[in-house]
Amino acid sequence: MSGSIRKLLAGALATGWMAAALPVFAQTSLLNVSYDVARDFYRDYNPLFQKYWKEKTGAPIEIKQSHAGSSKQVRAVADGLEADVVTMNQASDVDFLADKGLVARDYATKFPDNASPYTSTMVFIVRKGNPKGLRDWPDLVEPGVQVILPHPKNTGNGRYSYLAAWGYALRQPGGNDGTALEFVGKLLKNAPLFASGGRDATTTFMQRKIGDVLVSFESEAELIAREFGKGEFDVIYPSLSILAEFPVAIVEKVVNKKGTRKEAQAYLEHLWSKDGQENAAQNYLRPRDAGVREKYAAQFPPIRTFSVDEVFGGWSRAFPAHFKDGGSFDQIYQSK
């Protein structure tokens, strides 16, 4: 039911946009459908690209943004929202579009670095001075430690936290799926609640002062500093964490129809340019470019990470194994 409503809405929106675009016929317009917290990043990035495009081709280009929870977004695209490009925070969301035939199956090879222009990782945010002395994942499963994280099954942020802990346990001596399940189970027992999203978790931890440690993206820590002040918390880097990748892709079906392939390609490619990479670093996302990484080294302490591909064989395996109904998360919450 909601699908058809969304289709209707998307149709209405699309016609609205088309009508709006008619008077400025000459100007090409791209729609970038993105995840929720990428707002700041693309607000800064779009003018950079527009300037670059104008200099290169002499033609102006209009970029429209749409932001919401990532799985909602890709469902809207699947239902007919005419996105030229999608910029997501999890491969599973783009995979869904590939399944629907909207995005190339091998989208990850169409751009460098697994089609992810920047990365991030999961870190611990603790109270000022780290009163509980939390240094690494095993400290988080100690009795009496309260861990705040968003819902591991329903949110991208929570899923990364979950897989980070799982991967850590797996990589310990004697680690296997059984020990990992036990480890993550203990960790989740220390969660007094599951926040409904990344920002809700931040509010719960920072404003309501609940919990001893918040597990979140490294980039989120910087946003917390802007909002609540640097002196309110410490950021702890665990010995091992997960590499969060943010895949981008061209929506083939839409660019073929609209004839915007060239623009869409350039738009995404430019993310890897010096400007694009600097913009990522300024938004506290780890740039891929070695030179830019060097320049912002102080901001990004070294941390050992593993990717979802390395440990879990990609999102297409990790998702069903852990987050689908009957996956490891559900097993933890099965009463005996």
Partner 1 sequence: MKRVLPGFGLSLGFTLVYLSLLVLLPLSGLVFKSSALSLGQFWDIATGERALASYRVSFGASLLAALINAFFGLIVAWVLVRYSFPGKRFVDSLVDLPFALPTAVAGITLATLYADTGWIGRHLDPLGLKVAFTPLGIVVALTFIGLPFVVRTLQPVIEDIEPEVEEAAATLGATRWQTFRRVLLPGILPALLTGFTLAFSRAIGEYGSVIFIAGNMPLISEITPLLIISKLEQYDVIGATALACVMLAISFLLLLAVNGLQWWAANRHRGKEGALS
If binding is defined by CB under 8 A, does position 25 make contact with partner 1?
no
Residues in contact with partner 1, counted by CB under 8 A, come to a total of: 33
If binding is defined by CB under 8 A, does position 323 make contact with partner 1?
yes
Tell me how far apart the alpha carbons of residues 303 and 243 are, in angstroms, rounded to a whole number: 10
Q: Specify the 3-state DSSP secondary structure of 19.
A: helix
If binding is defined by CB under 8 A, does position 6 make contact with partner 1?
no
The binding track of 72-111 with respect to partner 1, each residue x by CB under 8 A or -, is: ---x--------------------x---------------
Choose which of 106, 209, 290, 302 interacts with partner 1 (CB under 8 A): 209
Nearest distance from C-beta of residue 93 to partner 1, angstroms: 9
Q: How far apart are the first and last CA of the chain?
A: 36
The binding track of 126-145 with respect to partner 1, each residue x by CB under 8 A or -, is: --------------------
Q: Please identify, among the stretches 110-118, 122-130, 204-212, 289-297, the one whose residues bind partner 1 according to the rule CB under 8 A.
A: 204-212
Contact 279, 125 (CB under 8 A): no
Q: CB under 8 Å, gap of 24 or more: what pairs does 267-271 form? A: 267/30, 267/32, 267/49, 267/63, 267/84, 267/85, 268/85, 268/87, 268/111, 268/117, 269/111, 270/48, 270/49, 270/52, 271/45, 271/117, 271/118
If binding is defined by CB under 8 A, does position 153 make contact with partner 1?
yes
If binding is defined by CB under 8 A, does position 325 make contact with partner 1?
yes
Structure tokens at 273: 């340019």
Question: Nearest Cα to 246, choosing from 280, 270, 199, 273?
Answer: 280
Task: Write out the residues near partner 1 by the rule CB under 8 A.
Answer: 1-5, 71, 75, 96, 151, 153-155, 191-196, 200, 203-204, 207-210, 319, 323-325, 330, 333-335
